[in-house]
């Protein structure tokens, strides 16, 4: 049987493994420490397996996230330093393996993720490989591997021997080599550490006086690596978006719009934008965006009622997602099959799509709006009607139709791509053309008329198209909508816009808005 205490080749080889793994930990920790833009938020929000709810909970609160980032950064540094130098080897190896297993659980290789990670082999990835190596190192006898810890043990043994010499002055503690060669072996790591750290610091720019940025972006290497390339940092969230109530349903004052994540874009003459959106918003990107909205306090998404939306929502809800679905539906005359699908698939509310309601009002088919709304309410959902034309809510009110909310387009026409409009013209021209055929990218023909209507109406109002397809800056569009009486705003957002828009909305809603209309939600 091999005597570990006498097998120096095995000890040297395992020491090298400990140093390599320690360096990986140390590098990852230092890279995070010297990069002020790094955050674990994106990594935590991407979690889709065991403990996903816990990881999302950590990312949802700036305080918890800051503590998580601190533990992550300094845990990597201290564990890496201990493993690299051979101090407290057992403790650091066990702590390191536990940290790697948490990384693995948060982002296992067999679950698709939009975060770039190192190569993996379906079930096995580098996190698992390093965790197994660290568990093996932790199982070795104390003092077996070379390093400062073993050198300290030698020093204590020699000191003890001097204090309590044996009778013949030749007795030595078993398994302890106090020779000069032992000293060299255990101290050899120090110049290696200094040389490698110096090279790393130069590469990273940490000791370069010419570079103002001390922490340039780094490629992701493992689940513990930098995620700052995503430029999404939940720590930038100043306050969660406040909410209002429609019926018995609590909804955030801004809601996530569904056009972008469904791959539809009003991009003027740039007809290739919609295909690009469909490429960008994969299932996982949509889910990631919903998680980010949830972390910012946005609890409602206005989404289409189709198979693709339902499939993604079911996947998101199965993973613990809590954003509620306000369904955009498409009744065909008296056929409300699409609405029944929304009810059956978990929508908390539904409304008749704007284009459909516009056409029904124009063709004097009000019953095609009444029937869907009454059915939605009979199923216990909040029910509404959307419209581009102010004639839609006016006709609903004149008909005596009871709705829980209106969705009405609302924006000023003071933006670069707006064509000239005559507020006295009817929304739908007499030849029956749709709004987007009559005017280029204008969805609200007369914002003052819309604001006046809602000033005298107590039905909750969800404003949409408030940025005119990105032509109006968010701060200006949101301020105009809320100041003019909107109770909620539906806002199409990319994932990298969510935090900024949440901050803008929260700031506006906590400041004086000079709003004439009272809040009706």
Give the mean pLDDT of 339-348: 96
Q: Mind listing the pLDDT tens digit for each residue in 415-459?
A: 777 766 544 444 444 444 445 454 556 788 788 999 999 999 999
Q: What are the φ and ψ backbone dihedral angles of 350, each rounded to 5 degrees?
A: -155, 155
Which tokens in the block code for residue 379?
A: 């199923």
Say whether pLDDT at 462 is over 90: yes
Which tokens in the block code for residue 106?
A: 């948060």
Co-location of 304 and 433 in the same domain = yes
Within a domain: residue 241?
no
Helix (H) or strand (E) holding 409: strand 405-409
Residue ranges making up the domain that contains 404? 249-509
Strands 124-125 and 120-121: antiparallel
Intra-chain end-to-end CA distance of the chain, in Å: 78
Give the mean pLDDT of 39-52: 82
Question: What is the total residue count of the chain?
Answer: 521
> Could you say which of 176, 197, 229 is where a domain stops?
229
Within a domain: residue 152?
no
**pLDDT value of residue 440:** 56
Q: Average pLDDT, whole number, for the chain?
A: 80
Helix (H) or strand (E) holding 336: none
Which tokens in the block code for residue 105?
A: 């659980």
> What is the number of structural domains in the chain?
2
Within a domain: residue 500?
yes
- Beta bridge partners, 352, equal 329, 385
> Could you say which of 198, 229, 260 is where a domain stops?
229
**pLDDT value of residue 116:** 45
Measure Cα distances from 93 to 4, 79, 507 in Å.
Answer: 19, 8, 46
Co-location of 48 and 133 in the same domain = yes
Co-location of 331 and 470 in the same domain = yes
Burial class, 386, CB count within 10 angstroms (exposed 0-12 / middle 13-18 / buried 19+): buried
Within a domain: residue 123?
yes
Co-location of 354 and 205 in the same domain = no
Which tokens in the block code for residue 460?
A: 């909750």
Within a domain: residue 95?
yes
Measure Cα distances from 161 to 175, 178, 182, 203, 378 in Å.
Answer: 14, 11, 17, 47, 89
CATH of the domain at 478: 3.20.20.100
Give the mean pLDDT of 91-118: 81
Helix (H) or strand (E) holding 298: none
Residue 392 contacts residue 454 (beta carbons within 8 Å): no
Within a domain: residue 14?
yes
Co-location of 206 and 302 in the same domain = no
Co-location of 258 and 219 in the same domain = no
Which tokens in the block code for residue 243?
A: 């909410």
Measure Cα distances from 131 to 79, 102, 123, 137 in Å.
Answer: 13, 10, 14, 10
Of all residues in the chain, what percent carry a pLDDT higher than 70?
A: 75
Co-location of 207 and 327 in the same domain = no
- Residue 239 CB coordination number (10 Å): 15
Burial class, 468, CB count within 10 angstroms (exposed 0-12 / middle 13-18 / buried 19+): buried
Co-location of 293 and 213 in the same domain = no
Which tokens in the block code for residue 118?
A: 């190192």
Q: What are the φ and ψ backbone dihedral angles of 328, each rounded to 5 degrees?
A: -85, 120
Within a domain: residue 112?
yes
Measure Cα distances from 486 to 76, 396, 412 in Å.
Answer: 48, 18, 14
Co-location of 222 and 261 in the same domain = no
Co-location of 473 and 502 in the same domain = yes
**227-241, 338-352, 494-508: least confidently modelled range:** 227-241
Co-location of 254 and 333 in the same domain = yes
> Could you say which of 197, 229, 261 is where a domain stops?
229
483-492: buried (b, 16+ CB within 10 Å) or exposed (e) per residue?
Answer: bbbbbbbbbb
Q: Mind listing the pLDDT tens digit for each residue in 223-263?
A: 333 333 345 677 788 889 999 999 999 999 999 998 887 77
Q: Mind listing the pLDDT tens digit for each residue in 283-318?
A: 888 888 898 899 899 999 999 999 999 999 998 898
Co-location of 142 and 266 in the same domain = no
Within a domain: residue 28?
yes
**Residues with Cβ within 8 Å of residue 78, at least 6 apart in sequence:** 29, 92
């Amino acid at each position: 049987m091999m005597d570990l205490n006498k097998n120096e080749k095995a000890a040297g080889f395992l020491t090298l493994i400990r140093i390599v793994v320690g360096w990986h930990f140390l590098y990852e920790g230092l890279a995070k420490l010297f990069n002020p833009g790094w955050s674990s938020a994106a990594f935590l929000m991407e979690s889709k397996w065991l403990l996903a709810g816990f990881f999302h909970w950590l990312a949802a609160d700036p305080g918890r996230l800051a503590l998580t980032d601190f533990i992550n950064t300094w845990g990597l540094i201290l564990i890496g330093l201990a493993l690299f130098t051979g101090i407290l080897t057992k403790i650091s190896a066990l702590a390191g393996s536990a940290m790697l297993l948490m990384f693995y659980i948060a982002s296992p290789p067999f679950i698709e993720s939009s975060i770039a990670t190192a190569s993996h082999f379906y079930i096995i990835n580098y996190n698992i490989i390093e965790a197994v190596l660290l568990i093996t190192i932790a199982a070795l006898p104390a003092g077996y591997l070379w390093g400062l810890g073993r050198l300290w043990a030698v020093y204590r043994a020699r000191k003890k021997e001097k204090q309590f010499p044996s009778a013949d002055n030749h007795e030595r503690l078993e398994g302890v080599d106090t020779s000069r060669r032992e000293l060299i072996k255990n101290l050899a790591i120090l110049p290696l550490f200094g040389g490698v750290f110096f090279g790393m610091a130069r590469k990273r720019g940490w000791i370069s006086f010419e570079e103002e940025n001390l922490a340039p972006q780094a490629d992701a290497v493992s689940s513990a690596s930098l995620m700052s390339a995503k430029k999404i940092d939940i720590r930038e969230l100043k306050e969660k978006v406040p909410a209002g109530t429609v019926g018995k349903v609590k909804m955030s004052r801004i809601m996530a719009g569904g056009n972008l994540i469904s791959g539809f874009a009003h991009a003027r003459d740039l007809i290739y934008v919609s295909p690009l959106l469909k490429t960008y918003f994969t299932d996982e990107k949509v889910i990631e965006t919903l998680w980010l909205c949830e972390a910012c306090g946005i609890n409602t998404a206005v989404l289409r009622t189709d198979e693709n939306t339902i499939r993604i929502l079911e996947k998101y809800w199965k993973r613990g997602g809590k954003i509620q679905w306000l369904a955009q539906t498409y009744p065909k005359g008296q056929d409300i099959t699409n609405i029944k699908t929304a009810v059956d698939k978990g929508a908390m509310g539904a409304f008749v799509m704007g284009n459909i309601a516009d056409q029904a009002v124009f063709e004097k088919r009000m019953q095609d709006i009444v029937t869907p709304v009454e059915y939605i309410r009979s199923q216990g959902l909040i029910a509404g009607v959307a419209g581009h034309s102010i004639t839609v809510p006016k006709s609903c009110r004149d008909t005596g139709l009871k709705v829980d909310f209106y969705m009405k387009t609302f924006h000023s026409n003071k933006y670069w791509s707006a064509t000239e409009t005559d507020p006295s013209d009817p929304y739908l021209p007499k030849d029956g053309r749709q709004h987007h055929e009559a005017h280029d990218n204008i969805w609200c023909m007369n914002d003052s008329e819309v604001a006046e209507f809602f000033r005298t109406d107590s039905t909750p109002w969800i404003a949409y198209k408030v940025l005119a397809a990105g032509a109006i800056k968010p701060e200006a569009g949101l301020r105009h909508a809320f100041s003019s009486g909107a109770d909620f705003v539906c806002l199409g957002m990319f994932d990298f816009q969510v935090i900024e828009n949440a901050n803008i909305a929260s700031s506006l809603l906590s400041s004086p808005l000079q709003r004439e209309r009272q809040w009706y939600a």
